[in-house]
Structure 1
Amino acid sequence: MAKTAIITGSSSGIGRESAIALSKAGWNVVLTARRADALKETSLLCEAPENYLILAGDVTNEAFVKKLFTETVSRFGRVDLLFNNAGVNSPAVPFEEISLEAFQKVISVNLVGPFVCAREAVRAFKTQTPMGGRIINNGSISAHTPRPMSSPYTMSKHAITGLSKCLALDGRAFDITCTQLDIGNAATSLTARMVGGVLQPDGRRAPESTFDVAHVAAAVVHIANLPLDVSVPHFTIMASKAPFAGRG
């Protein structure tokens, strides 16, 4: 029987590419994000229509997330993978100019959403037969080294590290594994600006290398296909010439 993955933020970028790759690898894929039209575009790039499900909604909405998992299990019988991919950033402004509203939006999408989705995934993993499943949390190299003027995003990604470690620890007895996938400069619409120059710690603006997002999707498929007695706590994938070690 085909395994089933829920991919948040699958309307574009990393989420879309990962959904396509998982579908081509024989997985059932549940596509979720806020934009139903963009999710439909993703679905048209996936394999057979009987192997995907579209559910548009907001991952910070607890009622929607519960519906997401209920309908997934109803359609496919179980859940084997949650890819917590949905995320947002905030404008790069000096720390003292960050509004509480902007900060709370980033924390809500980047941390509260993954928490609620992971909680429902764990509930499903523990009650299904055979028991267990895998969670992949989209971290970032910013979970280790921040960019200038990125406090809300960086704080949210540091928190994802804590979430990932707790899930791996608390899930150990139930065949639940968790991976933090830290990505640096995958080429998507969000990184197009890097070609024109990104603010560096010394005040310069410099172009940064990117890499094909298909390699991120391949990493997701590789981790997803591992047996549950194999854990990958941390996986970093980035453009080899992008600044990270000694960033800037």
Structure 2
Amino acid sequence: MALTSKITSGRTCLVTGGAGGLGKSIALALLEEGAKVVVSDFSESLLDSVAAEFQPKESVLLLPADVADAGAVESLISKAVHHFGRLDVLVNCAGIFDRFEPVGDINQDLWSKVLSVNVTGPYLLSKAAVNHFLSRSATDASIINIGSLASEHGWCGGAAYTTSKHAIKGLTKSTAAFYRNKGIRCNLVMPGGMNTDIVANVANTQGLDPEGSKMLDAVVEALDTPISDTKEVANLVAFLASTRSSALTGAVIKADHGITTLI
């Protein structure tokens, strides 16, 4: 039987952090591949500012939500299911950066904020999505977590960000193991450097720690690190969201142009 030209046709996908950066590219890629997409972001004004980019309108639902708030997450999943009738795919893309500070310097408020968005958020969303998938006896539901090279390395972020991205790898592995025979897949994408604004959207307004930045700059210079276009990573996520990737679960996929093979 011939494959359809659009790999996510008939799939309903939820993308968090979908109003900017990688999240927006993922949402647009899924739409282009025929999916119905719920685009969620913390910022309602940002959602409004990019609304015209998501077409066709009948295939898109824009919903603001705080992913670290359990009630907001339950409402988000409920509205998505009510609007489109079901959910097939969750993409946990929402995330914030820290100041690149080591553990001896980072303050607890910033630590807590980064962990709440980057770890508690995906936990809450995955829990709600998994329970929906089980309730409708899904046969090929997919959760895609967006990690980072910081999911395995210590030079890509400060203590809070690095810890949070290591945690997402663990959540991915656990989810894949427990639900492997229950119609739910879970995979992790680890992008390298990208042309996004995550560093600009640091969790406070003080900018990056200069010592931490020096370490990253040294690695980037030594490895001549390429910068990926977000569309490259988005196309990978679209594949993982489709049934064509049905054999993949618990996979950790580096989208870094092979840079970490040099380390």
* Separation in 2, partners of 1:95, 1:129: 43
Q: Which SS does the other structure have where 1:189 is aligned?
A: coil
Name the structure 2 match of 1:19: 27
Cα distance, 1:11 vs. partner? 1.3
Question: Which of the pair has the greater relative contact order for Cα pairs under 8 Å at 6+ separation?
Answer: 2
1:213 aligns with 2:230: yes
Cα contact 2:149–2:156 (8 A) shared by 1: no
TM value normalised by structure 2: 0.84
Superposition CA RMSD, Å: 2.5
Asked whether the equivalents of residues 185 and 191 of structure 1 are also in contact (C-alpha less than 8 Å), the reply is: no
Q: Does 1:141 align with 2:149?
A: yes
Counterpart among 233, 236, 241 of residue 254 in structure 2: 236
Stretch moving more, 165-174 or 147-156: 147-156
Number of aligned residue pairs: 242
The answer on 1:86 being equivalent to 2:103 is: no
Match of 2:187 among 176, 179, 185: 179
CA displacement at 1:104 relative to structure 2: 0.8
The range that moved more, 63-72 or 42-51, is 42-51
* Structure 2 partner of 1:61: 69
Map 1:1-248; keep pairs closer than 5 Å: 2-147=10-155, 150-190=158-198, 198-200=213-215, 206=221, 208-227=225-244, 229-232=246-249, 233-240=251-258, 242=259, 244-245=260-261
CA contact (8 A) 1:171 1:177 kept: yes
Q: Which residue of 1 aligns with 2:203?
A: none
Q: Structure 2: which 5+ residue stretches go unaligned?
A: 1-8, 201-206
TM-score (normalizing by structure 1)? 0.89
What is the Cα deviation at residue 67 of structure 1? 0.6
Moved more, 119-128 or 94-103: 94-103
| Structure 1 gap segments, 5+ residues each | none
Describe the superposition over 1:26-79 as per-residue Cα deviations: whole angstroms up to 9, x where unpaired: 101101111112223433212211111111020001001001111111111111
Regions of 4+ moved over 3 Å: 129-132, 190-193, 201-208, 244-247
